[in-house]
Amino acid sequence: MTEATATPPIVDRETFLRERRGLLAREKAHTREGDAIAAARRRLPMTEVDASATLVGEHGPVSLLEVFDDRDQLIAYKHMWHTGKGIAGQCEGCTASIFDVHDASYLNHRGVSFAVFCEGPWEEIVPFREFMGYTLPWYSMAGVEDLGVGPGLLDEPGNIACYLRIGERVFLTHETIGRGVETIMAQAHLLDLTVYGRQEVWEDSPAGWPQYRTYTWWAKDGRPVPQWTRPGAVRRDESAGDPAGHCCGQPASEPGQ
């Protein structure tokens, strides 16, 4: 863990623009490759899931079909949950994944609903959702047997699942885990644009750049960073212990691909 002791070299405008344009060519190639991968993703096959699977939400038990809210597509973020650990003991990674998603207007405009499917019991989800200020729909998937609706077919918590509704049938069209979830981490991508990046040891940074333990950009004093901005945030009772395992199935050192 090191503080910053160096900065980029100072150059004239012409040199800066030349170097910047050189990197821009690589960025454009990266964007085009991303478009090609998205095109391949749109051609993936799909698999049917249980449209009648029961989740519990703000208005009680509902079927997966009802969660679509009369739209044809649904994106669900599968949120980890540490039962009995209270608000402060929940997953830093899952919080970082969804904290920037407070409005789904653009998704809705294209016929896509967005919801959070949480592993925890509804009675524990309610105070957490209220404390964090989340407004989009949350549902408890506790007890759901179909893995395509519940924790996920790729068997890794903290994932994103995409569904398509055809009449009364529902199909899983895509599922992503690990760093694929960074798609919705807006602030992570913004950090990547800055000179010091995420400031973590796994990054390839020049000597003298600030680098801290991996996954500390989303955690502070043992809890998700945004929690400290919430009214009434208090330090966690250490006697409660730490949640089992590392959040979101991420490794304890370098991020996976």
User: Does residue 35 fall inside a structural domain?
Assistant: no
Q: Is 15 inside a domain boundary? A: no
CATH classification at residue 51: 3.40.30.10
Q: Does the reported pTM lie above 0.85? A: yes
> Is the residue at 251 inside a domain?
yes
Phi, psi of 9 (to 5 degrees): -65, 150
Helix (H) or strand (E) holding 92: helix 92-98
Residue 131 within a domain: yes
Please report whether residue 26 resides in a domain: no
Measure the CA–CA gap between 69 and 60, rounded to whole angstroms: 15
- What are the tens digits of pLDDT across the range 22-72? 999 999 999 999 999 999 999 999 999 999 999 999 999 999 999 999 999
Q: What is the distance between the alpha carbons of residues 115 and 191, in angstroms, rounded to a whole number?
A: 26
Count of domains observed in the chain: 1
Per-residue buried b or exposed e for 211-238, using 16+ beta carbons within 10 Å of the residue's own CB: beebbbbbbeeebbbbbeeeeeeeebee
The whole-number pLDDT of residue 156 equals: 81
Across 166-192, average pLDDT: 96
In a domain, 72, yes or no: yes
Name which residue leads in pLDDT, 156 or 244: 156
Give domain status of residue 12, yes or no.
no
**What residues make up the domain containing 160?**
45-257
Any domain includes 123: yes
